[in-house]
Amino acid sequence: MLTCPICQGALSSADNGVVCPADHRFDRARQGYLNLLPVQHKNSRDPGDNAAMVEARRRFLDGGHYAPLARRLAELAAERSPRSWLDIGCGEGYYTAQIADALPDACGYALDISREAIKRGCKRAPQLNWLVASMARVPLGDASCNLLASVFSPLDWQEAKRLLTPGGSLLRMGPTREHLMELRQKLYDEVRDYDDQKHLELIPEGMRLAYSETLTFTLQLDSEQARADLLAMTPHGWRASAERRAAVIAEPLSVTVAIRYDWIERL
């Protein structure tokens, strides 16, 4: 199922790693993941989220603030009973691990471009296949996945279509225009609006939207650390001014969480 990121040949186990027929070899890190991101595919020395960003997200998510989101994601994934699945852009694996718990008999893969994120993911669900790799060049074979999960992550739609089996599904989870509205109002003089359904225009021919739902709840953040971590794990942590960020961290905050789930099938 794994393919070489250099020549696309099939990878097989060899010593403490994998190798393709062209003898491209990739070692398994001591944490258990495979680094399938060749230097020529990197746009920086250490692409993706750095250690500080990953730790902020880990603390916030482990605090249970987004637990209803993860629970619903796992329920939706379990409804499809896939034989093989991939969390594409998995981050440090909070959502990935809950999908894995809901699909104990399936073959699961988790991929992110951030090595720091994948290191932490390995600890959450060591039974999965953890990969450092590009979301634009996923080192898995054509039609190899019954289910793709994309959680708060950019998506290469053509790559998603390539990976899915006919009848397979992409489960996309992303924010609506109401998500964190109160936070954005505190950070910016003018809150930029956006279309909740704009991403649907990007669905390629041969795929279709089968189902959507939205989960909404109010989140009370009384902890200064939680407010700081929420800022650090969103783009607002670097887009907003330092003064506005400090003001948000200083006082208790109540925010709307509003997340859309889309089932997008390959025909």
Side chain identity, residue 180 = L
* Residue 94 labeled ligand binder: no
Residue 7 in marked binding region:
yes
Reduced DSSP (H G I as helix, E B as strand, rest coil) percent helix, strand, coil of the chain, to 5: 35, 30, 35
Assigned token pair, 119: 């290191």
The response to whether 66 counts as a known ligand-binding position is yes
Task: Check: CB of residue 257 under 8 Å from CB of residue 217.
Answer: yes
251 is in an annotated binding site: no
Q: Is 89 left (phi over 0), alpha (psi -120 to 50) or beta?
A: left
Task: Give the CA angle between residues 9, 20, 130 to the nearest 5°.
Answer: 90
Task: Identify the bridge partners of residue 174 per DSSP, sorted by sequence position.
Answer: 260
92 is in an annotated binding site: yes
Does 4 appear as a known binding residue?
A: yes
User: Rounded to 10 degrees, what is the CA torsion of 199, 204, 205, 208?
Assistant: -50
Q: What residue numbers does the annotated binding site for Zn(2+) cover?
A: 4, 7, 20, 24
Q: What residue numbers does the annotated binding site for S-adenosyl-L-methionine cover?
A: 66, 92-93, 179
Q: What residue numbers does the annotated binding site cover?
A: 4, 7, 20, 24, 66, 92-93, 179
